[in-house]
Structure 1
Amino acid sequence: MGLLLCNKGARHPFYYEKLDIDIWSIQELSYVIYRYPVIIPSDFVDHKLTTWIRDELSMGILAAKLEQFMGAGDDTDQERLLLMILRESNYYTQVEISRFESEYKKLRNIDRHVFLNMLGDTYFRMGRYGRAIESYEESLLAEVDTGVQMKLAGTYVTVMQFRKAADLYEEVYVTTVSQEPLRKLYFISKLEPSVNTIEKYLDTIDVETLADWEQEYDNVQAKAEHDERAMEIFDLYQKSHSEFREHAKIMVLKWKREYRAKI
């Protein structure tokens, strides 16, 4: 994730593990707080953070104000601390900060399964699919919800765990008799023929619907084949097989690293 560095940056960044990013300025810190409130823990503003603000950003007054209100350490105090950082950064307008305050209060008063569902959505948007899976699974343990099951199945597809995805889609179909999980099962069978759960339900799908799904899959496949990166790889293969093999090794290693980072 790339952030804008507005004020003079720190000599050493503040590492935020949940986002797996280095924060270099007060504006970047504010961006993380404002953009991802659902993953901000109740102890986010602590002495480690205030020390970094004082020593690395040379913002001793802000650090002192934050430490003054860190006594009780409950959710109300954390909200005040976050708002102080947002105001001091001059990165957001007062209207935006008021909107954040309202949303933050709501987050602290929603049911746990709803919060975990939102947490999963946030991690998915960030590309942190492993953590999204954990959050969706926790949400389902708290309360079974077919919408969350569909999201979890979709996340499994993203990390190519097709069997787990198929099992969930089938469970949703049995519960809801909805056509959407069957559509997903059909596409999984195209991506991974060994996962052929859809075959049990083909008799329940009319010919026109199957034709539409087939056309949809063909359209996506054709678009993927004409993707700029795919075309570059194909051109390289046509020019030199040896160069292609070397390039392929590098790309496979890169994709493996990206995949591991996502899960």
Structure 2
Amino acid sequence: MALLLCNKGARHPFYYEQLDIDLWSIQELSYVIYKYPVIIPPDFVDHKLSSWLRDELNMGILASKLEQFMNAGEDGNQERLLLMILRESNYYTQAEIVRFENEYKKLRNIEKHTFLNMLGDTYFRMERYGKAIESYEESLFLKSDFNVQMKLAGTYVTVMQYQKASDLYEEVFVSTGSEEPLRKLYFICKLEPSIRTIEKYLDNIDTESLAGWELEYNNVQSAAEHGTRAGEIHDIYQKNRSAFREHAKIMILKWKREYRAKI
């Protein structure tokens, strides 16, 4: 994740574990708070953060205010602390801060399984797929929900755990009779031919739907084959086979690192 460093940065960053990033300025801190309220833990603003603001950003006045409220130990303190940081950063308008305040209040009052579902959605958008899977699974443990099962299955597909995805899609179809999980099972069969769950349910699919799914898959495959990345790799292969092999090694290592980071 790349953030914009607006004011003078800290000599040492503040590491935010939930996002696995280093924060270097008050604006970056405010951006994370505003953009991802669902992943802000109830103890996010603590003495470690206030010390960083004082020592690294020379924001002693803000740090003292935060510590005063923290030491008071009042109910709802975290919300007030977050709002203080947002206002002090001068990165968001008052109207935006009010919108954040309203959203944060709603998050505090929703049911746990709903919150975990939203948390999974946030992690998925951030491409933190391992975290998304954990959140969806926790949500389902608290309450069965076919929509969350579909999201979890889709996340499994993203990290190429096709068997787990197939099992979930099949469960949703058997329970709901919906066509969408069958469509997903069809595509899994295309991606991983050894998983042939879809064959058990071919009698439930009309010819028109099958033809549409086949066309959809072929269109996506064609777009991938003629995409920019594929074109670049093809050009390297045509010009120099030895260079292609070296490039392939580098790309495979890069893809492996990216995959591991996401799960």
Q: How high is the TM-score relative to the length of structure 2?
A: 0.99
Tell me how far apart the structure 1 counterparts of residues 107 and 67 of structure 2 sit (CA, whole Å). 24
Q: Indicate the residue corresponding to 1:93 in structure 2.
A: 93
Q: Indicate the residue corresponding to 1:177 in structure 2.
A: 177
C-alpha contact (below 8 Å) 1:189/1:195 kept by paired residues: yes
Q: Kindly report the root-mean-square deviation, in angstroms, between the aligned alpha carbons of the 2 structures.
A: 0.9
Tell me how far apart the structure 1 counterparts of residues 126 and 209 of structure 2 sit (CA, whole Å). 34
What are the residue-to-residue correspondences of 1:1-263 with 2, within 5 Å? Answer: 1-73=1-73, 76-263=76-263
C-alpha contact (below 8 Å) 1:43/1:73 kept by paired residues: no
Aligned amino acid, residue 88 of structure 1: E
| C-alpha distance after superposition, 1:189-210 (max 9, x if no partner) | 0000001100000111111110
Q: Percent identity among equivalent residues?
A: 79
Aligned pair in 2 of structure 1 residues 73, 163: CA closer, same or farther (>3 Å)? farther
| C-alpha distance after superposition, 1:63-96 (max 9, x if no partner) | 0000000025566000000000000000001111
Q: Which runs of 5+ in 1 are unaligned?
A: none
Tell me how far apart the structure 2 counterparts of residues 74 and 261 of structure 1 sit (CA, whole Å). 38
| C-alpha distance after superposition, 1:29-78 (max 9, x if no partner) | 00000000001001100111000000110000000000000025566000
Tell me how far apart the structure 2 counterparts of residues 92 and 236 of structure 1 sit (CA, whole Å). 46
Q: How high is the TM-score relative to the length of structure 1?
A: 0.99
Tell me how far apart the structure 1 counterparts of residues 257 and 87 of structure 2 sit (CA, whole Å). 38
Q: Which runs of 5+ in 2 are unaligned?
A: none
C-alpha contact (below 8 Å) 1:42/1:74 kept by paired residues: no
C-alpha contact (below 8 Å) 1:6/1:27 kept by paired residues: yes
Instruction: Give 4+ residue runs of structure 1 displaced > 6 Å after superposition.
Output: none
